[in-house]
């Protein structure tokens, strides 16, 4: 039985993570670290964990672990997470980090978008970007995995098969993404106040969302060339789910079936990517509460349009983190996730 | 043309009020008082008022009025409203107050439930409770109208015909009320954070909501006897609307049609109350964005069950306030409201 | 490994059932029977089952089973289910029936409310009502379990501790229940058309819902006396969840804590019932996607008010069905459910 | 007072239209034609019209008008509408048609996309496309106005200022549109069944929606050149509203402020178009229940991104129809609409 811990246990992604881990036959939650005072039982913070998880929260250092975890997940926010992770790594605990702190190899790019000095440059080189469909081999041996952002996961999975063999122009990619409100976190704000965001859809941070450079990094890496990409996120009146509608120009004319076949081949052995047949189009509800990414392909004239759906809290966060844990620990990759 | 002002112009009920007043052929908004610094244009606070209302907000005293209003609405919160209303009354401006500050004739009852000394006892006797279906004659001559709460409006309209001739036991009335989230105001809280309240229903403040004594006062007044009543509010995942499901015991056996006929007679001349025929049951959407209260009657054994629906922001707040204004100023009662 | 089948596999409750069974370590779905023509793969009916369940649907008789199931769930509608269940029982297959066909010992009561002759009276005596908190011992040895309705489960769990020792008047119980829309099934109707039921709440079938006699039967059985109970269901704009707000009169004055202690003792050993502490009130989201029933107790004057929450598709249908299966087959009761 | 009628009075757009007309100081509804049997009172079809409109529905011919209307709105579906409109035109009644039947000057284009022979080619030449921001002068003298589709209205208003002076490449325009569910009409279907579309977003009819050729026609007309445009509609879990996110390439580098100034100038005198300042982004709720189109402009690298919001039932249908009526009859254009 693998012993796991979570630092930042009050986040939505932590709740989702605990729910997944509670069903995981090989994992046991032994440690929950929070920034709050006192040692509240986690079920007083999340009443829905009553009779499921009876564990008192403690602090954020290795010394706070009631028993030593084999792996710790950090759901702390960016710029905070890198302050608490190093001691765990030093103590020989593997780490999966939900924040952006270890996602960028280029520390200046990180510092530009996250507005803070990187305080743990030392561990950057060993960090592996935790998108199994791209870096499975590296994740297998990683001590520190940077779990991808929700939008980047959804966008990258929709683009990888197209850029790998450069079927599309790399300088004109549009990702129009629609996300449920849980993506905005657990802090009440005007934007997430029910009467403000219910029954309404809006774009936000057009061209300036922090996930844009992450998408560009990931897709450029796969393309082995710098891509130009426009990313527009939208807040959609639903709890969870992301749909990315991706537009690109085909380099050469290709029939829709041919493009679909490229996707099917590319993802044939992937346990968590499903390519839809023919005219079927996915909806976010198809992947709700699952670790799947559902993809569909349309060709209209010279453009290919990709529909990519994930649950932002599962494949876009906690499910993928557990998938990474499984790979890091040599467990079956789908354990606890289907 | 009647000149009107609003103090507390940033509340949801103010936005709704402005929308109604903008369509009112006899009213012109000349003054908006707020507690903020500076003099923001109202359309910078509510972008949906762009090209509709071009007016700078000012302060909360009569001297802040760009031109003298005939009537001022206060949408300030309870315990605050009574601090700002007296100078307007003294200046000869009629007032419709949305808060609870002038709803209770018994100042001790008010002070018990609102946790504050009443600071304007002098104006209490002249205040009229603004439920036109009960106090139309008094409203006609009022200088100060206490606009009823949303839950009390919905509950009282469902109970008046039954208690007036004492068709039901007065000591066993249950009001199970379901409200949309806008009833909780414009301040973001955990309870109104979208991922918390969406896709979920819950009771709150069982037996301890401030609208309970108001409902009891109003219904007891109509019954000419003190009633015993249990009130349970619920937060429902929708923007607006209240449905009250009311249970009471018939004093004498009465057929459903006979009870329905009592309601139809009672409300025959009311412009804003609709009694449903036969087996029809109302839903809150039927009254959305309207000043109507829709009612249905069911008799099951010895119990009568009343369904009462309003839009909490219209008949439960701003629409009823305009209805009161119309009555106070001798305008047609439905002006601007249908 | 237990082999299970489902007849009526296209219902919402079947989808939920399959999702639960797919995570169940001791169960394997070997058979899906449907009323459609052809042998569609289940993942073409429910795309969200892609890469999870690769099984062709067949017909509704024991001969249609690709391999013999140990237990079959029927999610066929009432009056249809009893036509297809007998052959499975005769073939030695245990059955958990989701319909009302075997819930009533009194066949006349069934026939009155379901408007059809009972066509399988022979198996009625052996059927056990599948509420484990009441009939666990009997379920253990049952060949045929009548899985309770969603509203009855929610109401009964809120009332059992009160009626067992007759702490309340048995002739004046009110159950005001609010349900998500999935409770209405998978057939599109005007009532479940999105623009009709979204952003709206309404009561329906007041005093005439088929679950009313079922609730009365169950509660009366626990009370060992016929109870009088008023049941009002409401359609609430959310996918899933039921909240029952239950009102009853205490026979003797009892402090809130004392009543709460009665509940805590009663459910101490129950794996799927959680009694909230102090002033905590449950919301349906706390039990979403779980087999839990969350309960809270309030005493206001002479009345006790019980809040009872379940997920209508889990504890109100498929989760409870699996709980029953576990008990019938001697598996750990919570297997696959936490 | 202008007398108006509606043929097809049971559609959602008719309900919205009646609500607007009931507040219109210069219009009186004298006639409602439906395809149903009998002469149901409209308030029995739409209970929310109780005490507002007491009118019996009749048939669909000029002879069915209780008194002669000056103008008739047709909300009949495409291919049906053109069967019933000609007699009204022949009787000297002006017509505003909500269907697509008179929107295309090119009858072959119509027949290709709507799959039916055009049965009223005679009236095609006199039909004016009812987008006042483009064709106000022609609408003034029109006997027959083809009210635009909801998506085309939203897209065209976002593109007109850019294509008029050819600020963008005309061969690479993307319109990614998100619509509320009321856009799908009043007929219950699987796609609009609450548990299917709630809490989910999905694209549909990618590259094959009937509004695509209409958008292309309108924008090409404004551009005086054929444009290439990709249109992807999405079903969003909300009642009403459309947000179009529009992507195009600037022909010459232009600062964001400069592009915004182009929009502000273009729409300076338009009563129903609002261009947002600076970084403000519109949400569909800002225009809910209004006839406004809210626009925002972003420039990111060589691309301009336009956000365009309308209420599909108002500016996208009934509000624009009344705006057209006002223009056709020489009434103030905003009458009844603000």
**Cβ separation of C276 and A51 shorter than 8 Å?**
no
**Per-residue pLDDT at D253 exceeds 90:** yes
Residue A149 is predicted with a pLDDT of 98
Nearest to D283 among A202, A243, A247 (CB): A202
The better pLDDT of the pair C112, A38 is held by: C112
Q: How many residue contacts between C and D have a Cβ separation below 8 Å?
A: 52
**Chain C residues with beta carbon closer than 8 angstroms to that of D197:** 194
Asked whether residue C333 is domain-assigned, the answer is no
CA distance C181 to chain D (A): 7
**Per-residue pLDDT at D118 exceeds 90:** yes
Give the confidence band of C122 by pLDDT, cuts at 50, 70, 90: very high
User: Look-up: residue for tokens 């609730």?
Assistant: C215
CA distance C87 to chain A (A): 33
Measured CA to CA in angstroms, residue D232 lies from B252, B278, D265 at distances of: 63, 46, 29
Non-local (6+) Cβ contacts of D1 within 8 A are D26, D27, D28
Asked if C170 contacts C254 with a C-beta cutoff of 8 angstroms, the reply is no
| Span D165-192, average pLDDT | 95
d(CA D338, CA D200): 33
CATH number of the domain encompassing residue B31: 3.40.50.720
Give the confidence band of C314 by pLDDT, cuts at 50, 70, 90: very high
The three-class DSSP label of residue B6 is strand
**Per-residue pLDDT at A184 exceeds 90:** no
Q: What percent of chain C has pLDDT over 70?
A: 100
d(CA D33, CA D60): 5
One of B48, B57, B150, B197 is an active-site residue; which one?
B150
Q: How many residue contacts between A and C have a Cβ separation below 8 Å?
A: 44
Q: Are residues A190 and A118 in the same domain?
A: no
Tokens for D315, please give them. Answer: 């500016």
**Cβ separation of B186 and A192 shorter than 8 Å?**
no
**Per-residue pLDDT at D263 exceeds 90:** yes
**Cβ separation of B201 and C239 shorter than 8 Å?**
no
Residue D245's nearest CA partner among D315, D181, D159 is: D159
Q: Kindly give the residue spans of alpha helices, DSSP state H, lying in chain A.
A: 12-23, 42-45, 81-90, 107-114, 132-140, 150-164, 194-197, 211-223, 256-266, 319-329
d(CA B64, CA B60): 7
Q: What percent of chain A has pLDDT over 70?
A: 100
**Cβ separation of B25 and D25 shorter than 8 Å?**
yes
State which residues of chain B have pLDDT below 50: none
**Chain A residues with beta carbon closer than 8 angstroms to that of B198:** 181, 194, 198, 237-239
Asked whether residue C106 is domain-assigned, the answer is yes
Q: Which domain holds residue B203?
A: 151-312
Non-local (6+) Cβ contacts of A77 within 8 A are A8, A99
Tokens for A283, please give them. Answer: 């909806």
Tens of pLDDT along C317-331? Answer: 999 999 999 999 999
Nearest to C199 among B204, B239, B282 (CB): B239
Q: Are residues A306 and A166 in the same domain?
A: yes
| Span D126-151, average pLDDT | 98
Residue D195 is predicted with a pLDDT of 95
- Mean pLDDT over the full length of chain B: 97
Q: Are residues C61 and C93 in the same domain?
A: yes
D interface with A, Cβ–Cβ < 8 A, is: 174, 176, 178, 180, 196-204, 206-207, 228, 230, 232, 234, 236-241, 243, 245, 247, 281-285, 288, 298, 300-301, 303, 305, 307
Asked whether residue A333 is domain-assigned, the answer is no
CA nearest A238 in D: which residue? D199
**Chain B residues with beta carbon closer than 8 angstroms to that of C282:** 202
Q: Are residues D244 and D125 in the same domain?
A: no
d(CA B87, CA D7): 55
Asked if B304 contacts B259 with a C-beta cutoff of 8 angstroms, the reply is yes
**Cβ separation of A305 and D230 shorter than 8 Å?**
yes
Residue B51 is predicted with a pLDDT of 95
Tens of pLDDT along B123-166? Answer: 999 999 999 999 999 999 999 999 999 999 999 999 999 999 89
Asked whether residue D230 is domain-assigned, the answer is yes
Residue B38 is predicted with a pLDDT of 84
d(CA C11, CA C92): 25
Q: Are residues C93 and C140 in the same domain?
A: yes
**Chain C residues with beta carbon closer than 8 angstroms to that of D194:** 181, 192-194, 197-198, 237, 239
d(CA D241, CA B216): 41
**Cβ separation of C48 and A199 shorter than 8 Å?**
no
Residue C313's nearest CA partner among C49, C19, C6 is: C19
Asked whether residue B337 is domain-assigned, the answer is no
Task: List A54's β-bridge partners, or say none.
Answer: none
Residue C182's nearest CA partner among C311, C70, C67 is: C311
d(CA D17, CA A306): 38
Give the confidence band of D35 by pLDDT, cuts at 50, 70, 90: confident
Residue B298 is predicted with a pLDDT of 98
| Torsion angle (degrees, nearest 10) of CA B322, B328, B331, B333 | 50
**Per-residue pLDDT at D79 exceeds 90:** yes
Give the confidence band of D239 by pLDDT, cuts at 50, 70, 90: very high
Asked whether residue C193 is domain-assigned, the answer is yes
The domain tally of chain B equals 2
Nearest to B12 among A195, A198, A237 (CB): A195
Backbone angles phi, psi at B16, to 5 degrees: -60, -40
Residue A332 is predicted with a pLDDT of 97
Catalytic positions of D, written as ranges: 150
Nearest to A188 among B193, B199, B238 (CB): B193
CA nearest C208 in B: which residue? B300
∠ CA(D41), CA(D43), CA(D49), 5° rounding? 145
CATH number of the domain encompassing residue D173: 3.30.360.10
d(CA D323, CA D310): 14
**Chain B residues with beta carbon closer than 8 angstroms to that of A48:** none
User: Look-up: residue for tokens 């609009």?
Assistant: D192
Nearest to A195 among B182, B190, B195 (CB): B182
Asked whether residue B264 is domain-assigned, the answer is yes
Tens of pLDDT along A215-268? Answer: 999 999 999 999 999 999 999 999 999 999 999 999 999 999 999 999 999 999
Q: Are residues A67 and A186 in the same domain?
A: no
Q: Are residues C255 and C324 in the same domain?
A: no
Say how far residue B260 (Cα) sits from the centre of its chain. Answer: 24
| Torsion angle (degrees, nearest 10) of CA C172, C173, C178, C182 | -120
Q: Are residues C235 and C292 in the same domain?
A: yes
Residue A249 is predicted with a pLDDT of 98
| Span D129-137, average pLDDT | 98
The three-class DSSP label of residue C39 is coil
Tens of pLDDT along B243-280? Answer: 999 999 999 999 999 999 999 999 999 999 999 998 89
CA distance A182 to chain B (A): 6
d(CA B254, CA D87): 54
Asked if D274 contacts D251 with a C-beta cutoff of 8 angstroms, the reply is no
Residue D37 is predicted with a pLDDT of 79
Residue B35 is predicted with a pLDDT of 87
Residue B184 is predicted with a pLDDT of 87
Asked whether residue D335 is domain-assigned, the answer is no
Give burial (CB, 10 Å; 0-12/13-18/19+) of A269. exposed
**Chain C residues with beta carbon closer than 8 angstroms to that of D195:** 12, 181-182, 186, 192, 239
Residue C328 is predicted with a pLDDT of 98
Sheet holding A303-310: strands in order across? A202-203, A229-235, A173-179, A242-249, A303-310, A293-300, A273-275
Asked if D10 contacts D37 with a C-beta cutoff of 8 angstroms, the reply is no
Q: Are residues C115 and C222 in the same domain?
A: no
User: Look-up: residue for tokens 């793969």?
Assistant: C41
Q: Are residues A35 and A75 in the same domain?
A: yes
Tens of pLDDT along A117-169? Answer: 999 999 999 999 999 999 999 999 999 999 999 999 999 999 999 999 899 99
**Cβ separation of D195 and C195 shorter than 8 Å?**
no
Measured CA to CA in angstroms, residue B284 lies from B314, B323, C197, D10, D330 at distances of: 12, 20, 10, 20, 38
**Chain B residues with beta carbon closer than 8 angstroms to that of D47:** 276, 280, 282, 286, 294
For an interface test with D, which of C194, C200, C202 has the most D Cβ atoms less than 10 Å from its Cβ? C194
A interface with C, Cβ–Cβ < 8 A, is: 22-23, 25, 47-48, 50-52, 199, 271-272, 274, 276, 280, 282, 285-290, 292, 294, 338
Q: Are residues C122 and C104 in the same domain?
A: yes
Measured CA to CA in angstroms, residue B158 lies from B151, B162, B177, B262, D120 at distances of: 11, 8, 12, 12, 54
**Chain B residues with beta carbon closer than 8 angstroms to that of A239:** 194-195, 198-199
* Lowest-confidence segment of A321-325, C332-336, D38-42 by average pLDDT: D38-42
Give pTM, 2 decimals: 0.97
Nearest to B198 among A12, A190, A239 (CB): A239
CA distance B15 to chain C (A): 20
Residue C74's nearest CA partner among C96, C90, C101, C45 is: C96
Non-local (6+) Cβ contacts of D324 within 8 A are D96, D130, D132, D139, D145, D147
Q: Are residues A107 and A197 in the same domain?
A: no
Residue A270 is predicted with a pLDDT of 98
């Amino acid at each position: 039985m693998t012993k796991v811990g979570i630092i930042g246990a009050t986040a939505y992604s932590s709740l989702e993570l605990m729910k997944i881990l509670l069903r995981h036959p090989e994992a046991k939650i032994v440690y929950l670290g929070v920034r709050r005072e006192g040692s509240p039982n986690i079920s007083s913070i999340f009443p829905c964990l009553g009779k499921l998880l009876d564990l008192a929260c403690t602090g954020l250092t290795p010394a706070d672990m009631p028993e030593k975890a084999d792996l710790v997940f950090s759901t702390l926010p960016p710029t905070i997470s890198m302050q608490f992770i190093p001691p765990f790594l030093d103590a020989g605990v593997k780490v999966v980090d939900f924040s952006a702190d270890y996602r960028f190899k280029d520390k200046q790019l990180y510092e530009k978008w996250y507005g803070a000095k990187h305080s743990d440059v030392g561990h950057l080189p060993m960090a592996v970007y935790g998108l199994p469909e791209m870096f499975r081999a590296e994740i297998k041996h990683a001590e520190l995995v940077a779990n991808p952002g929700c939008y980047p996961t959804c966008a990258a999975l929709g683009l990888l098969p197209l850029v790998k063999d450069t079927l599309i122009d790399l300088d004109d990619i549009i990702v129009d993404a629609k996300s449920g409100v849980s993506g905005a976190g657990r802090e009440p704000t005007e934007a997430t106040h029910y009467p403000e965001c219910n029954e309404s859809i809006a774009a936000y941070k057009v061209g300036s969302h922090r996930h844009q450079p992450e998408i560009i990094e990931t897709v450029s890496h796969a393309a082995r060339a710098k891509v130009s990409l426009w990313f527009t996120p939208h807040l959609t009146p639903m709890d969870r789910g992301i749909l990315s509608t991706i537009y690109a120009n085909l380099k050469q004319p290709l029939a829709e079936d041919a493009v679909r076949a490229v996707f099917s081949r590319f993802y044939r052995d992937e346990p968590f990517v499903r390519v839809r047949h023919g005219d079927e189009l996915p909806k976010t509800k198809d992947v709700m509460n699952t670790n799947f990414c559902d993809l569909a392909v349309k060709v209209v004239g010279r453009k290919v349009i990709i529909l990519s759906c994930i649950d932002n809290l599962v494949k876009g966060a906690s499910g993928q983190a557990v998938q990474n844990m499984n790979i890091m620990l040599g467990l079956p990759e789908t354990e606890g996730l289907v």
